[in-house]
Amino acid sequence: MDRTQLIETAQAIVTNGKGILAADESTSTIGKRFSLIGTESSEDKRAEYRGLLFTTEGMEEFISGVIMFDETLRQSTLNGGKLFSKLLLDKGVLPGIKVDTGAKPLAGHEGEKVTEGLDGLRERLEEYYELGARFAKWRAVITIGDGIPTRACLESNAHALARYAALCQETGIVPIVEPEVLMDGKHALDRCFEETEETLTIVFHELFKQGVMLEGMILKPNMVISALDCSEQASVEEVAEATVECFLRVVPSAVPGICFLSGGQSDLVATQHLNAMNSMKDALPWKLSFSYGRALQTAALNAWGGKSENIPEAQKAFYHRAQCNGAAAFGQYSNEMENQV
């Protein structure tokens, strides 16, 4: 383990005013997104779409890293033929890679899942490092419901996250640790707070047991938020206050940064929440930034519509959302920025 390299990489990911573009949708997931805009999901079309994001002029002003799917890490720009990883590195953006193989039903625990992918991970990480990846991502999903999450689910997922993180650091790759308490359901903000606090407590306990260096990792969690079908939706300020309070309780100050996922939030609300958190306190122990997928891509995807002639308009939409979230990472976003497209 090269401690200095890991620390420098982790700190680069959470450089002031920058965050992560999560472009790691699987082939099936991106296929579903393409179907909504009437576009066939061929390898060339997927490369064209990812390429338009990565080649957006100035995106590196707000994007410090890009999480990619295995196929994407191996792809090149269609015209210039430059590997995406090399293209990003030349722009000063770190290439990342999704390494888990998905959440599967947890045996004996109906309605709960555990993420798989540890078998052969050491060898895959070594190959990904050679391909240019400098950080990785592993997502665990935690469902809130009647009698769940159980302790068994939380401990199983936390153990897998910690083993993954240890293997990453052994290879010189910064692990993005992503325990996501899902927004699905009818639960209120308080229940999300309780389950997020317990989830993170168990995750950090496992990270400690597995010898993971906290200074060389990034946390990618959910915000403390009302469920999608909750009858009372918490305000932006309530979400920000609850999230910061929860994380101050359980996230060690040694962690350099927290890059929130957007989950089921809209583009606008995800930006507002991040901005509100960064506007709250002058001296939080970690950087608060973003690792957004749909909240950065939806406008660009719709503007592109699968047509090459629409690439400039799609890049304009992507740049705008990146710019807004970059400002939110400083606590300097305003709703007026939405009119400056």
Select from 177, 157, 180 the least CA-distant residue to 262: 180
Q: Which helix (H) or strand (E) holds 278?
A: helix 267-278
Catalytic residue at 307? Answer: no
3-state SS string for 185-252: CCCCHHHHHHHHHHHHHHHHHHHHHCCCCHHHCEECCCCCCCCCCCCCCCCHHHHHHHHHHHHHHHCC
Q: Cis before residue 285, ω within 30 degrees of 0?
A: no
Catalytic residue among 25, 48, 112, 178: 178
How many of the other CB atoms lie within 10 Å of CB of 120?
A: 9
281: left (phi over 0), alpha (psi -120 to 50) or beta: beta
How many of the other CB atoms lie within 10 Å of CB of 207?
A: 24
Catalytic residue at 178? Answer: yes
Catalytic residue among 18, 98, 220, 287: 220
Active site residues: 178, 220
